[in-house]
Structure 1
Amino acid sequence: MSLISSKPQILSHNFFANLARITNTHNPHFKVLNFFCTSSSSPNEEQIPESKTPDSDPSAHEPQSEPTQILVSRIPRGKHRNPEKIEDVICRMMANRAWTTRLQNSIRNLVPLFDHDLVYNVLHSARNPDHALQFFRWVERAGLFKHDRETHYKIIDILGKASKLNHARCILLDMPKKGLKWDEDLFVVLIDSYGKSGIVQESVKIFNSMGELGVPRTIKSYDVLFKVIMRRGRYMMAKRYFNKMLSEGIVPTRHTYNVMIWGFFLSSRVETANRFFEEMKSRDISPDVVTYNTMINGFNRVKKVKEAEKFFVEMKAKNIEPTVITYTTMIKTYVNNGNVDDGLKLYEEMKSFGIKPNAFTYSTILPGLCETGKMSDAHTIVKEMVHRHIPPQDNSIFLRLIEGQCNAGDLDAAADVLKSMMRLNITPQPGHYGVLIENLCKKGVHDEAVKLLDQLIEQEIMLNANSSLELLPTAYNPMIEYLCNNGMTSKAETLFRQLMKLGVLDPVAFNALIRGHSKEGSPDSGLELLKIMMRRNVASEESAYKLLIESYLKKSEPSDAKTALDSMIENGHQPDSSLYRSVIESLFEDGRVQTASRVMKVMIEKGVKEHMDLVSKILEALLLRGHVEEALGRIELLMNAGFAPDFDNLLSVVCEKGKTIAAVKLLDYVLERDYSVEFSTYDKVLDALLAAGKTLNAYSILCKIKEKGGVTDKSSGEELIKLLNEQGNTKQADILSRMIKGNEKVKKVKKQASAA
């Protein structure tokens, strides 16, 4: 069969189109073609697979009733893509490549002939005015096209709108050199361009030069000059040129008077505007709707409601139908002067006449309704606005609507305002959410507030660089407080972290978060926030520190609790005595005696007088562990602060535990400072030393006791003398013996003196 070969054959679209015209359904070749029309083929071509015959598939022998229809179904559907226009290709090339000789050659190779339509369309479609200017000059210099009046007008208009006024001016003035004549429209567009750029004097110069260059001036050029002059408030100049126009025999039109009246109101020259309005009528020029709109708006600017009403009534009496601009201006007049009810009536009247409000109308009526508390009417208008999908001209009205509904106590309506913004494709800002969240918190509807907060966090609305309404502390602080008090501190911190990226360092929020983490048993997170506060000099609260320390203590992490306590003191807070005790006890029970001692030192320095039982325990532990110097330092601190420890108890404990070195140093400290100790305590120390075989230490201590007039058991002294002699320390034994006898004589003399 001729249609089947060893290689795939491509059947063109034209083949199927022609084939569709064949009506002979009995031809067996059609069955074969039907077999190869599979759904996997491309839209524009059909391929016949290799090694396929009709006999290889049973369906090839089945009768086909409508093979032509099946073939037609393979014709590509949809519209063919239109080829790109040459001017669009040129504009795209100019936008994507630098203007070089290579680009010029590429354009030249692309276009065989530059005609008027092509050049004009390239200028019109150029994405950048610089590209248009480069193309304009190139085609002329390269001799590819000779510009005419239309292309000159186009480039002057483009450059004027782009404020490239010197280029536009040069091109205009060079036209006669190319054999082209000037006309008024060319100058008008340049005058208007200078005026829009605020260069009024140049507009006037160009206007005056028209007469010198022989270009006739009509009402058209005067009108554009008046508009330029009036826009800058030069009403006296406008009057002079108006009189000059009349002297030249040029008759003003309705548009001329409309421009003049508009300009006089712009400069608050109400009487002059009125005079021109009357002059207009005296010339048999009937005011139109634009004229009355200008008059009404002008009196609205100077807050003269009665005059605005007069012109509004007058235009209706003359069967001049008010437009949406007329009604909107009158509504604005009423609203600005506090007559919101009259404005609302006019709004309803406008709709009853089939005049539909526009974005300016909504932006005019809604603020007045919010100010006067007519939130029900405002809610109705918002619904209408959403139904028509017309957003207001000023989006700031939505914040006032939300605030107004919240003040009226209708939080559902306030939430609807937020939804309305989304339906109008207006992205709500953090401030919009904030007002609603704040009022929901005040009403105790925290669940709904949390839902709004989730939207803020998940969509990162606060991080939007275009947002101008920030989330205020009155909104986020109550929300953070609620979350922290209800086990959702992590969510609160996520919110506050986003706020921190915007530079917010609110101490209230920081402390609430620390308290929340502490309550939830996550003091490390609280400590991290605390470190941020310290680095950025944010004020902390005592309650936050207290909860943080207690949280660490509950987790049996006394070391971290001590770190938090140090930070608390460093930031100027005074922990209460119970907090000191809790930290010291926790450290002591954890075996961190020296760390507990340091906390005790701070406590004593701060003048806390309680918990002396705990102080004694720490002193005992220090002495027993061999930290004698540290213990003596703490004792010295206690004595200076007026807190005397129980020396007898301390000496007794260390003697019982056999810590003779500690006992000797402590007793030396006591004797040097003449602190009082029980006689029995001396004996305990001496007995401990003798039991340990430290006779010389006992001798030294006993000598000091005798020098201070202390009394010990006689047997202790005699036993010590005996031991000294036995150990060969006869000299010390002799000194000690004489010292004891001398003390006895002194005692006898004292007794006799007392008896006498």
Structure 2
Amino acid sequence: MAYMSVSKPSNLKLRSYAKLSRDSIPSSLQSLNFFCSPASSDTSLPTPLSPADPVPSPDAEERISPSQTEDNQRVRGGKQRNPEKIEDIISRMMDSRPWTTRLQNSIRELVPQFDHSLVYNVLHAARNAEQALQFFRWVERSALIRHDKESHCKIIEILGRASKLNHARLILFDMPSKGLEWDEDMFVMLIESYGNAGIVQESVKIFNKMTELGVDRTIKSYNILFKVIMRRGRYMMAKRYFNKMVNEGLVPSLHTYNLMIWGCFLSLKVGTANRFYEEMKTKGMSPDAVTYNTMINGYNRVNKMEDAEKVFVEMKGRNIAPNVISYTTMIKGYVAVGRTDDALGLVEEMKSFGIKPNAITYSTLLPGLCDADKMPEAHMVLKEMVAKYISPNDNSIFTRLMSGQCKAGNMDAAMDVLKAMIRLSIPTEAGHYGTLIENFCKIGDYDRAVKLLDKVVEKEIILRPQSTFHMESTAYNPIISYLCNNNQTVKAETFFRQLMKKGVKDPIAFNNLIRGHSAEGAPDSAFDILKIMIRQDVPSEETTYKLLIDSYLKKGEPADAKTALDGMIEQGHVPDSNVYRSVMSSLFEDGRVQTASRVMKTMVEKEIKENTDMIEKILEALLMRGHVEEAIGRIDLVLQTGYKPDIENLLSVLCEKGKTIAALKLLDFALERDCKIDISSYDRVLTALLEAGKTLNAFSLLCKITEKGGVADQGSCDGLIRRLNEEGNTYQADVLTRILKGKDKASTGSKKGTKQMFTA
């Protein structure tokens, strides 16, 4: 029994499901003729299963390919003989529009009169099961036609394939109410559909219900039940139904025994499988190629290659020629136990008999060769596949081949693997290029690695949405490092930005890019990368910041260097004294004294006690530029750390430059902090104030000095008194005179005499 895949002709008579042609089997299922029996009295529904665990199925008739069908519909000149079929038009309408009353009316206008052939063909041409079900119900409810048995069979088949099992079950059980009789094939379809969906208990219930409903069960029903329950490993249940079948007088066919042997091996019940095998022979049934292939595959499952070899020899002894399935199964077994030399020998043997290895054969052999480190042999097998244009079933084989050749040090052979993928139209992914790039970098062949990288970037292979094999950090970090160290950081960044779009946040790559841009004199580009790192919480390195700061300084951009320094500190790094000095010096030379002052403040707060000469320069510049309050604040901060700036020198410079107010404020600060100041410094400030005509400021300063117990030069005092009287400030002159007389009396009889140094 098979699925129909061709349209129903208009004069098609009612046929049972069992007699549908074999041309309906999809090409994807034809590869499952891994274990096939010759034609027997019973047939079975083909089921799409994994090639790893094929189910024995009969295969007697020739299959008609779709291309042959199309060729038969063509006429000379290459033109279509007929216009588009009406069922195809209806199918396209249903696929492009929602199922509404408007669509139904459009179909009615297109087809005034429905017949069974048209309904069947529309169901067959429907793009999906939901469309077919809607159409099936509509034509019946609208009284356009009364479905026949064949239409029911078709919709049950469609719904079963789509796993719409409840709908299929209701339609099947509703047939008697429409005056239609059941047949065994409909139940067989439903049993298999439930089995394909993994609902074995429902398959069993429907099988048992067949008797209640008066539907005869033949060997065909039992075979499909065995296939369903054996696939789920329920070999004990299969044995019970096997005995029940025999008790009902049904004779097991060769296909039945093949199914039982297959299922027992699937459940690793080797002894039970052997008993079925011997029972089959005692009943006079000769094993066929499917039987032997099943036995060989079963022994491979349990790693009993000696038993598999015996069966293989027995097969040849009975003049049953092993086919490509037989050889491939044996090769699979040899590979599984590590006997790759025997596997290679079988390949040569099958070629000598004119049997061509297929994709499954190569897919089975190549992993074994890689595991056995037989890379030259694997390379030859790959070349043979490319020459025959045979692609393996599993594309991951190419990854193993490429890695194996790289491990063996044969990089040319590894490149041949990539070329083979392109030749066989297999999509290459970033991981394949990454494997080659990584190994080219390991051997120092960076030129070839860069050429591969150029292809990756140009074709945007990394950004392909269907990619599953991504490039590892062991591949992209070495090539990025090489590019950044060889003045090609822009290319490295272009490549890495594609990686970032795939979610890569590798700190090593980020830091290498910053180093590269910094070394090439492009600190702005480096800083852009740094911003991305900070935004994405990627950890940075201290040396990276140092290179960035140095790059800005070399470019003559100390303000940006200071910004980078601030970022360095924010990220938890501790700059050393040299970094602070270089930034402060550049800012100072650029005339950015206040910015340099802020850097100095940060340095002092971090308890770095070097660079005192820069501290003195910055303090002097602040005072000279009139930033007195800022300078005094910095002096106060420096004093707290234990460093004592040269205040007397600052006072001297300020007086020389005529910055008397700045000198006065600095001296006031020194008096408040009890700093040790030489009397000459006070005299110098007083003199500067007097020369500048600021007698009141001088008077105020002198009062503070005397209040602190200090002594000033008598000549300066007399001169100040005289100037005060001349300017009409007699009150201040009189106060100063009394203060000085009081000081003289207090100092009379003192053994120490006049103080030359005082503490204010």
TM score, norm. by length of structure 1: 0.86
1:679-738 deviations in Å (ceiling 9; x for gaps): 322221111011001112222222333444545433222212221222233343344345
1:750 counterpart SS class: coil
Distance 2:513 2:550 in 1: 15
In the other structure, the counterpart of 1:580 is 580
Q: Distance in 2 between matches of 1:594 and 1:164?
A: 79
Q: CA distance change for structure 1 residues 81 and 529 in 2, over 3 Å: closer, same or farther?
A: farther
Instruction: Summarize deviations over 1:286-330 as a string: whole Å, max 9, x none.
Output: 111111111111111112222122212221222222122222221
**Measured at CA, do residues 108 and 730 of structure 1 come closer, stay the same or move farther in structure 2, by a change above 3 Å?**
closer
Residue number in structure 2 paired with 1:46: none
Question: 1:361 Cα deviation (Å)?
Answer: 1.5
- Where 1:749 maps in the other structure, the secondary structure is coil
Structure number with greater Rg is 1
Deviation of residue 562 (structure 1)?
0.8
Equivalent residue, structure 2, for 1:173 = 173
Distance 1:507 1:725 in 2: 76
Aligned pairs for 1:370-389 within 5 A: 370-389=370-389
**Bigger mean CA deviation after superposition, 689-698 or 127-136:** 127-136
By how many angstroms is 1:99 displaced? 3.1
| CA distance in structure 2 between the partners assigned to 1:255 and 1:271 by the alignment | 19
Residue 78 of structure 1, CA deviation:
6.2
| 2:600 maps to 1:600 | yes
The one-letter code sitting in structure 1 at the alignment partner of 2:336 is N
Aligned-partner SS, 2:268 = coil
In the alignment, residue 553 of structure 2 is paired with which amino acid?
A: L
Counterparts of 1:202 and 1:742, CA distance in 2: 122
Q: Distance in 2 between matches of 1:660 and 1:600?
A: 25
1:747 & 1:109 partners in 2: Cα distance?
Answer: 131
Q: Which amino acid aligns with 1:118?
A: L
**Structure 2 residue aligned with 1:18:** none
1:446 matched to 2:446? The reply is: yes
Task: Provide the secondary structure at the position in 1 that maps to 2:643.
Answer: coil
Amino acid at match of 1:490: V
Residue 263, structure 1, aligned to residue 268, structure 2: no
DSSP-derived class of the 2:750 partner: helix
Q: Determine helix, strand or coil for the equivalent of 1:354.
A: coil
Distance 1:130 1:738, change over 3 A: closer
Does residue 1:356 correspond to 2:356, yes or no?
A: yes
Deviations 1:161-201 (A, max 9, x none): 11222222233233334443322222212221121112222
Name 1:26's counterpart in structure 2: none
CA displacement 1:584-616 (0-9 Å, x = unmatched): 111112221111101011111122222222111
C-alpha deviation, 1:637, in angstroms: 1.1
Quote the Cα distance in structure 2 between the aligned partners of 1:92 and 1:746: 120
Segments of structure 2 that go 5 or more residues without pairing to the other structure are 1-75, 755-760
After superposition, residues 638-677 of structure 1 pair within 5 angstroms as 638-677=638-677
Give distance in 2, aligned partners of 1:752 and 1:241.
129
How large is the Cα RMSD of the aligned pairs?
2.2
Partner of 2:254: 254
1:620 matched to 2:631: no
Name whichever of 277-286 and 91-100 sits farther off.
91-100
CA–CA distance in 1 between the matches of 2:278 and 2:104? 60
1:689 aligns with 2:689: yes
Alignment of 1:514-525 (within 5 A): 514-525=514-525
Deviation at 1:156, TM superposition (A): 1.7
- Identity between Structure 1 and Structure 2 (%): 68
Structure 1 residues 183 and 623: alpha-carbon distance in aligned structure 2, compared to 1, 3 A threshold? same
Query: In structure 2, what is the Cα distance between the partners aligned to 1:752 and 1:617?
Result: 38
For residues 137-152 of structure 1, what are the structure 2 equivalents within 5 Å? 137-152=137-152
Q: Is the 8 A contact 2:438 2:475 kept in 1?
A: yes
* Counterpart mapping for 1:125-164 below 5 A: 125-164=125-164
| Aligned residue number for residue 208 of structure 1 | 208
Deviations 1:657-678, CA, capped at 9 Å, x for gaps: 1011111111111122222223
Query: What's the offset of the Cα at 1:547?
Result: 1.2
SS at the partner of 2:249? Answer: coil
1:71 alignment partner in structure 2:
none
CA distance in 1, matches of 2:606, 2:102: 85
For 1:705-720, what aligned pairs fall within 5 Å after superposition? 705-720=705-720
Describe the SS at the equivalent of 1:330.
helix
- Distance in 2 separating the partners of 1:264 and 1:316: 24
Q: Secondary structure at the match of 1:677?
A: strand
Cα offsets for 1:482-539 (capped at 9, x unmatched): 1211222222222222222222211111111111121222222222222222222211
Alignment check: 8 A CA contact 2:722 2:733 kept: yes
CA deviation string 1:10-39 (max 9, x = no partner): xxxxxxxxxxxxxxxxxxxxxxxxxxxxxx
> Partner residue of 1:114?
114
- Which SS does the other structure have where 1:119 is aligned? helix
Q: Distance in 2 between matches of 1:752 and 1:670?
A: 25
Match of 2:758 in 1: none
SS at 2:749's partner residue? helix
Q: Which is worse superposed, 146-155 or 238-247?
A: 146-155
Q: Could you tell me how far apart the structure 1 residues matched to 2:132 and 2:193 are? A: 17
Distance in 2, Cα, partners of 1:166 & 1:706: 111
Q: Aligned pair 1:591/2:591, yes or no?
A: yes
Deviation at 1:251, TM superposition (A): 0.9
Q: 1:113-156, CA deviations, whole angstroms, 9 ceiling, x for partnerless residues?
A: 43443332222111122222233334444444443333222222
Cα distance in 2, alignment partners of residues 737 and 101 from structure 1: 118
| CA deviation string 1:396-439 (max 9, x = no partner) | 11111111111111112111111211221111122111111111
Report which stretch shifted further, 370-379 or 705-714.
705-714
Deviations 1:246-305 (A, max 9, x none): 111111111100100111111111110111111111111111111111111111111222
Separation of aligned partners in 1, 2:534 and 2:393: 46
Describe how 1:22-61 pairs up with structure 2 within 5 A. Answer: none
Whole-Å Cα distance in 1 between the matches of residues 140 and 698 of structure 2? 122
Change (3 A) 1:745 1:86: same
Farther-moved stretch of structure 1 (698-707 vs 649-658): 698-707
Partner of 1:25: none
- Say which structure, 1 or 2, has more relative contact order (CA 8 Å, 6+ apart): 2
Question: How far apart are 1:617 and its partner, in Å?
Answer: 1.2
Q: Tell me: CA distance 1:179–1:669, structure 2 relative to 1, closer, same or farther (3 Å).
A: closer
Residue 403 (structure 2) pairs with residue 413 (structure 1): no
Equivalent residue, structure 2, for 1:699: 699
Deviation of residue 98 (structure 1)? 3.0
Counterparts in 2 of 1:651 and 1:222: CA distance versus 1, 3 Å? same
Return the alpha-carbon distance in structure 2 between the equivalents of residues 131 and 747 of structure 1: 120
1:476 deviates by 1.1
- Report the equivalent of 1:550: 550
Residue of structure 2 in register with 1:186 after alignment: 186
Q: Distance in 1 between matches of 2:278 and 2:318?
A: 16
C-alpha distance in structure 2 between counterparts of 1:137 and 1:704, whole Å: 111
Q: Distance in 2 between matches of 1:294 and 1:529?
A: 61
Q: Report if aligned partners of 2:747, 2:753 keep a CA contact under 8 Å in 1.
A: no
Shifted more, 160-169 versus 220-229: the winner is 160-169
Q: Corresponding residue for 1:31?
A: none
Relative to structure 1, the CA distance from residue 386 to residue 677 in structure 2 (aligned partners, 3 Å threshold; closer, same or farther) is same
Counterpart residue identity of residue 424, structure 2: L
Q: Which amino acid aligns with 1:227?
A: K
Residue in 2 aligned with 1:459?
Answer: 459
Q: 1:140 to 1:735 in 2, by over 3 A?
A: closer
- Higher alpha-carbon deviation: 311-320 or 240-249: 311-320
Q: What does residue 569 of structure 2 align with?
A: 569
Per the alignment, residue 315 of structure 1 pairs with: 315
Say which SS state the counterpart of residue 361 (structure 1) adopts.
Answer: helix
For 1:66, the equivalent position in structure 2 comes to none
Residues 1:222 and 2:222 aligned together: yes
Partner of 2:324: 324
Report what 1:49 is aligned to: none
Kindly indicate whether the alpha-carbon contact (under 8 Å) linking 2:363 and 2:393 is maintained by their aligned counterparts in 1.
Answer: yes
Indicate if the aligned counterparts of 2:226 and 2:260 stay in contact, CA closer than 8 A: yes
Partner of 2:17: none
